[in-house]
Amino acid sequence: MWPTFWAVLLSAFLFTPCYAEGSRADPSPLELPDIVIRAERKKDKVSKRVVTHEELSRVAGSGGDPLKAIQALPGIAVANDSSSNPAIRGSAPQDNLYYVDNLPVGYLFHMGDTYSIFNPDLVGDFHIHPSAFGPEFHNATGGVIDITLREPRRDHAGVKINMSTLESDLLVEGPINKNQSLLLGARRSHLDFLLPKTGTLGNGLDYVQFPKFYDYQGKYLWRVGSRHSLSFQINGSEDKWGLKIREDSSVAAHEPDLAGTITGKLRYHSQGLVWKSALSPSSMNTLSLNRLRSGFSEAMTLGHVLADFDQFYLNENLLFRPAENHELTLGGGLIFSRIELDLDIKFDPPSDFDPDENHSSAARRRYQDTLSAGDYALFLRDRWTVHPRLVLIGGGRTSYDDYLGGTFTEPRAGTEFTLSETILLTAGWGRYHQFPEGHQVIDVFGNRDLSHFKAEHGVAGLERKLPDGWTCRLDGYYKTYDDLVVPDPVKTYVNGGSGSATGLEFLLKKEETAKWSGWLAVSQARSKRRNDRTGQDINFKYDQPLIINLVGHHKVSKTWSVGAKWRFNTGSPYTPVIGTYYDGTRLRPLYAGVNSARLPDYHRLDLRVDREWKFNTWTLSSYIEVINLYSRRNIGGYSYNADYSSRKPIHQLPTIPAFGLTAKF
């Protein structure tokens, strides 16, 4: 069925007649595989998918959060309803790279990956590079989410107050003088105020600190003459939680040493400067400096984990055009890190290839040290418009990491060809590497002699512009992985794994030229992992072979609008329990093949209604959402009784109403 479906789509792309709405001369390949959200900040717009910030903010079920709404775009998988952190094109969320205004952030989502750390009104645009991204990005084998916060208002001072089911926030902004402006925003969750101080979550679990968070953002912009600008940015976030596992719970029956209270805190604070200079009519320089302090702590009956990171970033980017049809970008970066670790905990090393974690019987491991690391890189990107219909790019990145060691020289290339006024062909390729997870590369808990794992990306796309604001795009991609980290009985971890991800994606989108807008996104993909030392092949834990998103928005009048989103995806893989054995201490589960079964297919319909009131000097807007409108009981996993003789499903979100109210002055 599916090969026929994609063949019909390809035929429709090439042979369905339509009328040109503008020339595609001088295309650019610099962002070949991008999905670009809101107005582009680069001129290479013809090679990008464009979804505006406003469209994403009103996607039903997102609570007005555009970063959460990206899961409705092609190639994005999520673990379950409680997570918004995207798994992009067959990779894991931790394989992604996040930047905000050319500066790194500590993490992107609150409350276990549920709610983004940025006030939605501050997001100017963000680009998603799902694969084959350019040489300016490093240390990622998944995708890149590159966010830009909008500039502060320059016309007059303004205040925005927002209240929703989950949080409240305040934003103040405006001009300081003719050339300077400022914005400051802050948010805090408030469910911990509304709920009892302690309470039960069911299944033998209680909360002693309901998850709470705060975040803040600030941006000061100074236009120094007509050719220079300086921005100073601050942002930060903190999450806290506390959970009590009762002795009568199934969790404690399986892992006795987990019984008790678990508390945790996650935080980061970032300060950065970005200096942009137009050195000449044909050259632009961007210099970024940043300090990022982040950390997390967790305490439980098994022990405690404390980690503090202090990182300094320097990035230089020089763009110049030696000729009208030629653009070169030369850049580099330095990252210096200082990490303080205090770990004392019973630890059974986790692995995607072994589901049987047994922390209660594991040996206690202790590690306390201060580590330092440096990363150094240079990159070059060359864009050449060979012909009005053909653009070629070439480039690469060379980097060195002094913690694990190793120099990496990675070429990256791409091309775009304008087949006609309405059809654009693109292709891109590149090699990449990524640092392993933190616990895998420290003594006692991992293997200090690990190396980076590697990936190769390839992508090809076909885009067609249709009349009346319609566009469609078909993309195919592959990713291969080498030197993945796998478990080892002697060294804990070694580089001995490989993997692959392949897929096809289709996007049919309607711009808001009239009252209707929205899109249909269909993704078909497979993602596999292999332990080359044992020959074990598994489905990747984020493998969802078919994902369909249907998003619609209808502007009923100047003040009323309605929207809906329906999502379907193949059930995620999981490892079932098929029996038990006695390990000398207690009954333990016997598992089938890793990720050899799948949860039932997932689908959910969300509905949203927006209303706006305009007054003389201010506006009031509100929304009401109904999540999971038809009460689909989607299964997110299974909970087993004490002796593993029976199980019951863990259901995801039921039907939930949500609201938001915003006043702008």
Burial of 105 (C-beta count, 10 Å sphere; 0-12/13-18/19+): buried
Q: What is the mean pLDDT of residues 24-37?
A: 40
Give the closest residue to 393 by CA, choosing from 319, 328, 475, 462.
Answer: 328
What tokens does 554 get?
């209808």
Report the mean per-residue pLDDT for the chain.
88
Report d(CA 639, CA 651) in Å as an integer.
10
Using alpha carbons, select from 455, 416, 575 the residue that is nearest to residue 47.
416
Name the token pair of 139. Answer: 């240390």
Residue 453 has pLDDT above 50, yes or no: yes
Q: What is the DSSP string of 367-421?
A: EEEEEEEEEEEEEEEEEEEEETTEEEEEEEEEEEETTT--EEEEEEEEEEEE-SS
CATH number at 2-664:
2.40.170.20
From CA 4, how far away is CA 596, in angstroms rounded?
27
Give per-residue pLDDT as tens, 348-363: 999 999 998 888 889 9
Tokens of 470: 């319609």
Residue 198: Cβ within 10 Å count? 12
β-strand pairing of 602-614 with 619-627 = antiparallel
- Confidence at 41, pLDDT banded by 50, 70, 90: low
Please write down the HEC assignment for all residues of 183-227.
Answer: EEEEEEECHHHHCCCCEEEECCEEEEEEEEEEEEEEEEEEEECCC
pLDDT digits (tens, 9 = 90+) for 317-326: 999 999 989 9
Q: Which residues pair with 29 in a beta bridge?
A: none
Which pLDDT does position 183 carry in this prediction? 94
Residues 472/506, Cβ–Cβ less than 8 Å: yes
For residue 599, which of 80, 221, 245 has the smallest C-alpha distance? 80
Gap between the Cα atoms of 663 and 665, Å rounded: 7
Domain-wise residue ranges, the chain: 2-664
Residue 44 has pLDDT above 80, yes or no: no
* The pLDDT value given to residue 104: 77
Dig out the tokens for 207 from the structure. 């909360």
Does residue 550 have a pLDDT over 80? yes
Per-residue pLDDT of 590-624, as tens digits, reads 999 999 999 999 999 999 999 999 998 899 999 99
Burial class, 293, CB count within 10 angstroms (exposed 0-12 / middle 13-18 / buried 19+)? middle
Q: What's the pLDDT score for residue 20?
A: 37
Is residue 95 within 8 A of residue 103, CB to CB? The reply is: no
628 CB burial (10 A radius; 0-12, 13-18, 19+) = buried
What is the pLDDT, as a whole number, of residue 27? 38
Give this prediction's pTM. Answer: 0.91
